[in-house]
Structure 1
Amino acid sequence: MNVVVNAAMSADGKLSSRRREQVTISGSEDFERVDRLRADSDAVVVGIGTVLADDPRLTVKDRDRRERRLENGEPANPARVVVDSNARTPPDARIVDEQAETYLCVSENAPVERRMNLSDRATLVTAGEKRVDLLRAFAMLQQNGLERLMVEGGGELIFSLLENGLVDELTVFVGPQIIGGRDAPTLADGDGFVENFPELSLEELEKVDDGVLLRWTVQY
């Protein structure tokens, strides 16, 4: 399995404002790059916070890219994966519509009624007692043929994936604005590392739109 984290952050490392509302950081050139990356992936992964804040659909926007996927024997859109320990995904969320297959990674602690309400909208992957056990969940996703995973946030999920040694590549667009705020989400939230910090090896640096694209491989 290959896991690529893709994110856009402000020059001061914020994913959005302290209100945790969607903020446009990228420009048209980076949006095209992200769409290409989605089209090349088996699945797009987000945490429940992203679903509740943005209600994303996470599908491929460009028709030609969808058609090429179909020509290659793949679904028009990659699968969607939500890491959602307590099954809080709304049944009417766009991420569980019929545009693509969706996997919901939940814990055993998720209320049964919520799981039942979602079971006909998505494939449930149960791993972990109170929180999703990411190693087990990703192993189960791999058993379902998902080898190329693109992670689109948020910061809590990205930190947890790094903590579990599951990230192979980190690609970040750094936009030309300052958001600020001690409570604004960052690229890797969660508890934070105090030792054994994951190290990055810079593979690519490119000016994109009015920002810069950085691509690292992750060293453990």
Structure 2
Amino acid sequence: MHVVVNAATSADGKLSSRRREQIAISGEKDFARVDRLRADSDAVVVGVGTVLADDPSLTVKDEQLCERRREQGDPEQPARIVVDSTGRTPTDAAIVDDAASTYVCLSEAAPVDRRMDLADRAELVTAGEDRVDLLRAFAALEAAGLERIMVEGGGELIFSLFEAGLVDELRVFVGPTVIGGRDAPTLADGDGFVAEFPTLTLESLERVDDGALLIWRADG
């Protein structure tokens, strides 16, 4: 499995404001890049916080990219994956519509009624007691044939993936704006590291409009 974390941050490293509302950090050129990255993936992953805040569909928008996927023998859309320990994903969320297949990763703490509701809308993957065990969940996803994984946030999930040693690549568009706020989400939130910090090797740096796209390889 190859896991790519993709994010857009402000110049001060924020994903959005302290209100956790969606903010347009990048422009059309970067949107097109993200669409291509989705099209090259078997699945796109977000945490349930992103689902509740933004209600994303996580689908490829460019019809030519969809056609290319069909010609390659792939489903028109990559699968969508939600990491959701307690089953908070709404059954009317865009991510569980019929535009593409969806997997919801739960822990054993998810209530039975929520499991039953979500089972009508998605494939369920249970791993972990109180929180989703990402190593076990991603192993199950890989066994289901999902090998090229794109992660789109949020900060809690990204931190947890680094903590689990699952990240192979980090792509960040840094936009020309400052958001600020001690409570605003950052690229990697969670508990934070205090030792043995994950290290990265810079693969490329490209100017995109008035921002910059940085691509790092995780050193393992």
TM-score range for the pair, normalised by the shorter chain length: over 0.9
Q: Which residue in the other structure is 1:105 paired with?
A: 105
Once the two structures are TM-superposed, the CA of residue 206 in structure 1 deviates from its matched residue by 0.1
Give 1:121 shift: 0.4
Find the residue that maps to 1:130 and give its secondary structure: coil
Matches within 5 A, 1:53-202: 53-202=53-202
Q: Distance in 1 between matches of 2:42 and 2:167?
A: 16
- 1:120 offset after TM fit, Å? 1.0
Number of aligned positions between the proteins: 220
The 3-state SS of whatever aligns with 1:160 is helix
- 1:174 Cα deviation after fit: 0.1
Report the AA paired with residue 84 of structure 2.
D
Cα deviations across residues 53-95 of structure 1 (Å, max 9, x unaligned)?
0000000000010011111111110000000000000000000
Q: How much does 1:211 deviate? A: 0.1
Q: Which amino acid in 2 is paired with 1:91? A: T
Q: For 2:158, what is the secondary structure of its paired residue?
A: helix
For residue 42 of structure 1, what is the amino acid of its counterpart? D
* Structure 1 residue ranges without an equivalent (≥5): none
Q: Give CA deviations for 1:182-209 in whole Å, capped at 9, x if unaligned.
A: 0000000000000000001000000002
**Which stretches in structure 2 are left out of the alignment for 5+ residues?**
none
Root mean square deviation, CA, Å: 0.4
Q: Specify the alignment match of 1:9 in structure 2.
A: 9
How far apart, CA to CA, are the structure 2 residues paired with 1:198 and 1:219?
7
Alpha carbons 1:28, 1:209 under 8 Å: kept = no
Structure 1 residue 37: Cα displacement: 0.2
Letter in 2 for 1:114: R
- The amino acid that maps onto 1:20 is R
Runs of 4+ off more than 2 Å: none
Whole-Å separation in 2 of the counterparts to 1:209 and 1:48 = 31
**Structure 1 position 212 matched with structure 2 position 215:** no
The 3-state SS of whatever aligns with 1:57 is coil
